[in-house]
Amino acid sequence: MIQTLIHSTVNNNYYIYDDRSRLSLLIHPEIKKVYEQFRDVDPYYLKKYAYLKKKGFFTETVVPQFKKVSEIDVLDSIIQTTQIVFEVTDSCNLNCVYCGYGKMFQVTDKREYNNLHIENAIKLLKYVFNLKAKSCKNKLMIGFYGGEPLLNMNFIQQIIDVVSQLNTNKILDIEYSMTTNATLIYKHLDFLVANKIYLTISLDGDKNNHAYRIFGKGEKNSFDTVIRNIDLIQEKYVKYFDKYVNFISVLHDRNSVKNIYEFIYSRYNKIPAIIELNMADCKPDKKDVLDRMFQSKRESETIYQNECLNKIQKTQYETSFFHELVNFVKYYNINYYVLNKISLYNKKEKYLPTGTCLPFSLKIFLTVKNKLLLCEKINFRYSLGKVNDNVEIDFQEIAQRYNYYFEHALDICERCYCYKFCGSCIFHFVNMDKLDSEDLNCDYFQDQENFEKTLYEYFSFLEKYPNEFFSIIENLN
């Protein structure tokens, strides 16, 4: 059960945190003494505490109310979706040691060097375009993923042609993106630039940092090839590079947040996205190997922030801590009601359990096996439809399956102080394949003790950098 609590900061200031009203109030230390039932308390603060109780603080615990997913929710999510991503091919010219489709993982759909059938991709495009005509969101990103998508360039060219034909009247604002290992860019650079395709290039840092990203034959480090191609883009198309090229790095035991930031920023003036190794679905006999390779992003960020005197200023806004702080401020301040006016009148708000997005609301991912998934980060066994002769999406079945998953998460969510701003996707829960067991676990779960520590960190930061609070508020949408 969630209850009003009092927490401190590094400056020994005290705040009341109240989940029900979405408020955090700076208080006098005497209020804390009343809360903890000390006897020698100033009578004025006894009255003030009584006033707060009268206004609903400290009186009742909150039992979070959760809602179910309906068929209409599923349909509306597809209508409002912002991305369609194609697994262009499951072939890849690299054999990265930590690849989630590689030898260390239990892959549901075996990699068989297949390409996605263009006919099925076109069926999905037509299906979504037809629904998007009813949408209030006219932006749509078409993404190309792999494997290495540049191994099936013919598919990419055909899709862009088809999209142009389907969008002749320019109802939708279309953009294109691609995640690539950059080894083949030199062959197709002019096409990528001409079509303004946003590139996310996988680069783990310098040559030693990048050493797990090896070519399939001979285990040669791909670093030199990748850097040569990135430099080519920067030299030949400066404006394109500045606007359309970004980087993503995998954190492991051969690099660090410091290594990654310093190499990529100093060479390309870009701040990369950094992700941890995927630890889900690894083979039991490979777990020790993967554990040795794993490095916590939060811990590596903390070392970088605390020890690097010449740290890159922009990187502060890319840390896990800052993203979590923004999410907290978004849901726990009075401005929430400005952006969500209906909540002022709704005394019994309901939330979806976990932070799982509604099915297809953010992305529709089509695999080479013709399966439809929420995104490329989810195991293929959790597909929610397929494309064969037609696009097969059963709204009722998807809603029922979601609600089944959520029912098993309720015991965790009802006790979690982060239920309003959860950052956890249920498909990444520990032991998601054992829903009916007591082993189901959420890495983001926070009881009162852990949440007080989190509030300590958030408010200590905001006291030190008060302008960041106002900046966060101004940029909320």
**Per-residue pLDDT tens digits for 241-290:** 999 999 999 999 999 999 999 999 999 999 999 999 988 888 999 999 99
Whether residue 171 is found in the same domain as residue 221: yes
Q: Is residue 406 part of a domain?
A: no
Whether residue 155 is found in the same domain as residue 260: yes
Number of structural domains found in the chain: 2
CA distances from 225 to 207, 248, 261, 451 (A): 11, 17, 20, 46
Q: Is residue 365 part of a domain?
A: no
CATH at residue 287: 3.20.20.70
pLDDT at 102 over 90: no
Q: Is residue 420 part of a domain?
A: no
Task: Identify the band that residue 229 occupies on the pLDDT scale cut at 50, 70 and 90.
Answer: very high
Out of 299, 331, 363, a domain closes at 331
319-333 pLDDT, tens digit each:
999 999 998 888 776
Whether residue 55 is found in the same domain as residue 172: no
Q: Is residue 394 part of a domain?
A: no
Whether residue 162 is found in the same domain as residue 265: yes
Task: Identify the band that residue 350 occupies on the pLDDT scale cut at 50, 70 and 90.
Answer: confident
Out of 265, 299, 331, a domain closes at 331
The span from the CA of 282 to the CA of 370, in Å, is 24
Whether residue 111 is found in the same domain as residue 222: yes
Q: Is residue 84 part of a domain?
A: yes
Nearest to 68 by CA among 341, 363, 396, 339: 396
pLDDT at 233 over 60: yes
Whether residue 56 is found in the same domain as residue 188: no
Whether residue 103 is found in the same domain as residue 167: yes
Whether residue 317 is found in the same domain as residue 466: no
The span from the CA of 299 to the CA of 296, in Å, is 5
Structural domain harbouring 53: 5-63+449-474
The span from the CA of 404 to the CA of 410, in Å, is 10
Whether residue 149 is found in the same domain as residue 227: yes
Q: Is residue 303 part of a domain?
A: yes
The fraction of the chain above a pLDDT of 70, given in percent, is 96
pLDDT at 418 over 70: yes
Task: Identify the band that residue 217 occupies on the pLDDT scale cut at 50, 70 and 90.
Answer: confident
Q: Can you tell me the mean pLDDT for 71-95?
A: 96
Out of 331, 358, 386, a domain closes at 331
Higher pLDDT, 114 or 20: 114
Whether residue 42 is found in the same domain as residue 85: no
Whether residue 39 is found in the same domain as residue 105: no
233's tokens? 């883009």
Residue 168 has phi, psi (to 5 degrees) of -55, -40
Q: Is residue 346 part of a domain?
A: no
Whether residue 119 is found in the same domain as residue 43: no
Task: Identify the band that residue 338 occupies on the pLDDT scale cut at 50, 70 and 90.
Answer: very low
Q: Is residue 392 part of a domain?
A: no
Q: What is the pLDDT of residue 349?
A: 74
